[in-house]
A and B are shown apart, each in its own frame.
Chain A
Amino acid sequence: MRLRRIVFVTTAALAGVVLGLASLVGLVAGGGGFKGVPHAGWSYNPLAGSQGADPYTRLKVAVGGLLALDRSETIYFTTATDSTGAALRADCRYRITGGAMPVRWWSITLYDMGYLARNSDGAPSIDRTRAAPDAAGRWSAQLGGARPANGLWISSATATDVSLLLRFYNPDPAVVKDPTLAPMPVVTRETCTGGAS
């Protein structure tokens, strides 16, 4: 009888711990209802860094973007897909194009599982100070595994799980209020060396 009780409590405890942690990981890592607000192929979390963040947002930010700033100072947009919605791939070459953005300074950085890819080519990002606009006010950059002959480049050479993070530092007040007003860069796939997927 006593043994049965021990087994009863122990198995319930083990199953409870696994279920409790798995459900949390599933909600936070998998997104669930906490994926952020979509905007033009990117997404942002309006409560990142905020004192008003709900516990799930707070945990998600702690895991994936520790020390994020409140959106009055910085808005963070992420994407892991191209303009067609297909997942970004390290064996593909993309063109990132954009125009003037209503912010004081912006940058786009490639992350591999949340960290800078272990590339030795010194091309982890582009930013406003390097993106010279053309006569029409447009700029473009290449995202891929090989350095282009000229122009801006973000290297995905050794990445396996590609995502991009667009930082908006000191966004205009209207964009702070409604980030979906911001015109966003477009990520267009050009070629792939591997098979289609």
Chain B
Amino acid sequence: MKPLIRWGLLTLAIAATVHAMALFAGPTIIMSIAMKRIAGEAGVNRWAFAPRTTPETQRVVRSSPDLAYAACAWDVSKGPVRIRAAGAADYASLSLYGANTDNFFSLNDRTMGPDGAEIVLIAKGAATPAGIDPAKIVVAPSRRGLALDRRLAPTAEAFARADAARRAVNLCETLPKG
């Protein structure tokens, strides 16, 4: 085989490998950066309550200025994680994202009811923790990920109400294993 053809084939093989690696690793790397930033603020398995989204406070691409955001960087490797979110009279949701950015679980204010939501996140293959209602169990597709609490808050007054509600009720904590 001619050297130039060999060089071209090697280049194409490397290009295909780099393309595939970046394609599959990219979302996980971006998510990992977001999780580290949130965990750096509040710690792992703790809610971080973001201030009202403005040009100065925005942290994530295409954040909505009309929503109040709280995030919990969860890690189920040390045990189940209990996640609680306050109910709301207006739109609110609790959504869970795996390490690859997939939104694998969501509840909104209508599906969670006026008292809010409580779920227990466990690792794949882990036993259901004793004393926990099996209906609350959600199996995490990855060891780490993010929980996001969104609340309708298009005005400063609405944001203050949403912030007070979530700070009073929301919980993200590690439970003992087994």
Chain A interface (Cβ < 8 Å from any Cβ of B): 8-9, 11-13, 15-17, 19-21, 23-24, 49-51, 53, 55-56, 58-59, 61-70, 72-73, 104-105, 107, 109, 111, 114-120, 124-125, 127, 129-130, 165, 167, 169-170
Contact = CB atoms under 8 A, between A and B. Distances in A.
Contacts of A24: 19, 22-23
A125 B66 contact: yes
Contacts of A61: 27, 101
Contacts of A111: 62
B61 A115 contact: yes
A15 B102 contact: no
A68 B103 contact: yes
A114 B11 contact: no
A66 B66 contact: no
Interface of B: 3, 6-7, 10-19, 22-24, 26-27, 30-31, 34, 53-55, 58, 60-66, 90-91, 93, 95, 97, 100-104, 106, 108, 110, 141, 146, 148, 152, 154
Given A56-B23, A170-B91, A64 B53 contact: no
A104 B108 CA distance: 12
A19 B15 contact: yes
